[in-house]
Amino acid sequence: MVSAVVLAAGLGTRMKSRLPKVMHRLGRKTLIECVLDTAFSEADEVVVVTGYRRELVEDFLRKRYPSVKFAVQHEQLGTAHAVKSALPEVEGDVVIIMPGDMPFVRRESLRRLVEALDEGFAGAVLVAELSEPAGYGRVVEKNGCVLKIVEEADATEEEKRIKRVNTGVYAFKKDLLEKALDKVKNDNRKGEYYLTDVVEILSSSGYKIKAVEAVRREGMGINSRRQLAEAYRERCREKAYQLMEQGVTILSPENTFIDEDVEVGIDTVIHPFVFIEGKTVIGEGCEIKPFSVIRDSRISDNVVINEHSVIEGAVVDEGVSIGPFARIRPETRLMKGSKIGNFVEVKKSVIGENSKANHLAYIGDAEVGSGVNIGAGTITCNYDGVKKHKTVIEDGVFIGSDTQLVAPVRVGKGALIGAGSTITKDVPPDSLAITRAPMKVLKGRGIEDYRKRKYGIKE
């Protein structure tokens, strides 16, 4: 059985934050979620070591990972002390250790660490080669094995020149780890119990520790807000390049922000300053124009999303056109060929095939049939101050501009609503409904006449 121990008890002094470091977000996901997703993909159980503001971290994680276990480290005396606090909770005979601030570590790397133990190594360390290794522990190797890890603060000038660094991710046989931890002392620059000392303790007793090579960004840790920003940029760029290789056009990868799990079909064109987040799937041949945000949505093929549109929790069928400046809210379905234009908000509604709401409308809790035309300024009055009510607009209806539909209300198939109407009762199919004060025309009573009468102003 393989257990993972995730270290998340520290405050993260260098972040200068009231929030624990692992609760900072890399895009939409917190650092700790990035790490736990990977941990759970490979380990049979995951123990998170918490300390600083532990209730906050634990409540957050318990909701998302019901099977997660916690171990408390009351005082943050160092990474070795943190792991020691976790061991009573650990059931596996193999222990993977992951810092909570290394969000890029991959499942395959965890697997390779565990495989090293099957090959007979007592432990394995994930090692990254960095051009700027400052701040990381340096890995000292001999004959293909890791001899020891030296922390930056304790390193000699020569050791500081080593570019191979410790990612802080390891796998150990639990019994050996337990014994080695008991021998770790805090006689170093920081006065902390370093987990890294376990490596030297084991190797000097004749045990072999393997260096497993990290790939790409795995060695990037987050200790400061600057590193958080750099990591975010790197991740966005990597995702953009990956999509481009698969046939997506991304005009400016540095300025496009796409979450890891997003899928995009070929020949879709993504303009700069677009955010695509969460579990979003986008089809082929779409065009997504600048400043749009798409979150947790499914977008089919050949959809055009114009500038400054926000789409969340929606399903959008083929050939739909959205925006500019449209807002599509959760539980909305826009069916094939429909069109939602500028300054239109749609919430929890179905818009049928080829129906249009081109300008300035609010459509909430509505069921709109196919071929419907919703005029500018139309509002579904769905909320009576207590409850939400439904508006049904059947196929082929034409709603004149500036109409209020006071829900619950149904407009029958093929009906016509005159502009400026307030519809409070159901409209039967194929009828005209209009509520409008009759218009008067008074000749000779223009603006000049009005000024003269009221203020005595002459021409």
Contact call for residue 352 and ligand UD1 (CB under 6 A): no
Rule CB under 6 A: is residue 73 a binding residue for ligand UD1? yes
Indicate whether 149 belongs to the interface with ligand UD1 (CB under 6 A): yes
Cβ closest to ligand UD1, residue 214 vs residue 399: 214
Positions 164 through 203 that interact with ligand UD1 (CB under 6 A): 165-168, 194-196
Contact 48, 71 (CB under 8 A): yes
Rounded Cα gap, residues 372 and 356, in angstroms: 6
Smallest gap, in angstroms, from Cβ of residue 288 to ligand UD1?
A: 36
Is 294 an interacting residue with respect to ligand UD1 (CB under 6 A)?
no
Q: Which amino acid is at 209?
A: I
CB 202 within 8 A of CB 180: yes
| Cβ contact 412:428 at 8 Å | yes
Rounded Cα distance between 59 and 72, Å, is 14
Binding partner at 299 among ligand UD1, Ca ion, none, C-beta below 5 to 8 Å by kind: none
Catalytic residue among 74, 308, 359, 389: 359
Rounded to a whole number of angstroms, the minimum distance from the CB of residue 223 to Ca ion is: 5
Residue 287 has, within 13 A of its CA and on its CB side, a CA count of 9
Q: How far is the CB of 222 from Ca ion (least distance, A)?
A: 7
Residue number with CB closer to ligand UD1 (75 or 158): 75
Q: Which of residues 93-112 bind ligand UD1 (CB under 6 A)?
A: 99-102
Contact assessment for residue 22 and residue 63, using Cβ atoms and an 8 Å cutoff = no
Interface with ligand UD1 (CB under 6 A), residue from 27, 33, 61, 78: 78
- Rounded least distance, CB 229 to Ca ion, Å: 16
Q: Does 227 bind ligand UD1 (CB under 6 A)?
A: no
* Cα 369 to Cα 380: distance, rounded to the nearest angstrom: 15
Closer residue to Ca ion, CB minimum distance, 220 or 357: 220
Residue 111 is encoded by which pair of tokens? 């697997």
Shortest Å, Cβ 66 to ligand UD1: 22
**How many residues belong to the site for ligand UD1 (CB under 6 A)?**
30
Which residues in 326-351 are b (16+ Cβ under 10 Å) and which e?
A: bbbbeebbbbebbbbbbbbbbbbbbb
| Residue 223 beta carbon to ligand UD1: minimum distance, rounded to whole angstroms | 6
Q: Does position 15 bind ligand UD1 by CB under 6 A?
A: no
Which of Ca ion, ligand UD1, none does residue 433 bind to, with CB < 5 to 8 Å depending on kind? Answer: none
**Counting contacts by CB under 6 A, is residue 265 touching ligand UD1?**
no
Please identify the residue of the shown chain whose CB is closest to the bound ligand UD1.
Answer: 137
Which residues is 383 bridged to in the sheet?
Answer: 388
CB-wise, 196 or 309, nearer to Ca ion?
A: 196
Q: Which does 265 bind (CB under 5 to 8 A by kind): Ca ion, ligand UD1, none?
A: none
Selected from 2, 4, 5, 7, the binder of ligand UD1 by CB under 6 A is 7
Q: Please choose which of ligand UD1, Ca ion, none residue 3 contacts, taking the beta carbon within 5 to 8 angstroms, the exact cut-off set by kind.
A: none
List C-alpha distances in Å: 442 to 233, 303, 449. 66, 50, 11
Angle among Cα 188, 100, 54 to the nearest 5 degrees reads 95
Give whichever of 10 and 369 is closer to ligand UD1, judged by the CB atom.
10
Q: Residue 30, interface with ligand UD1 (CB under 6 A)? A: no
Separation of alpha carbons 44 and 319, rounded Å: 45
CB of 168 to Ca ion, least distance (A): 7
Task: Label residue 214 exposed, middle or buried (CB < 10 Å: 0-12, 13-18, 19+).
Answer: buried
Sequence-separated contacts (24+) of 439-443 with Cβ below 8 Å: none
Q: What is the CA radius of gyration of the chain?
A: 31
Which positions lie near Ca ion, rule CB under 5 A?
101, 221, 223
The least CB distance from residue 170 to ligand UD1, in Å, is: 10
Asked if 45 is part of the footprint of ligand UD1 (rule: CB under 6 A), the reply reads no
Structural contact between residues 283 and 305, judged by C-beta atoms closer than 8 angstroms: no
Known catalytic membership, residue 359? yes
Cα gap 126→413, rounded to integer Å: 66
Residue 133 preceded by cis peptide, ω within 30: no
Angle at 313 between CA 33 and CA 261, to 5 degrees: 40
| Residues 374, 368 contacting (CB under 8 angstroms) | yes
Could you say whether residue 76 binds ligand UD1 (CB under 6 A)?
yes
Residues that bind ligand UD1 (CB under 6 A): 7-10, 22, 49, 73, 76-79, 81-82, 99-102, 136-137, 149, 151, 165-168, 194-196, 221, 223
Catalytically annotated residues: 359
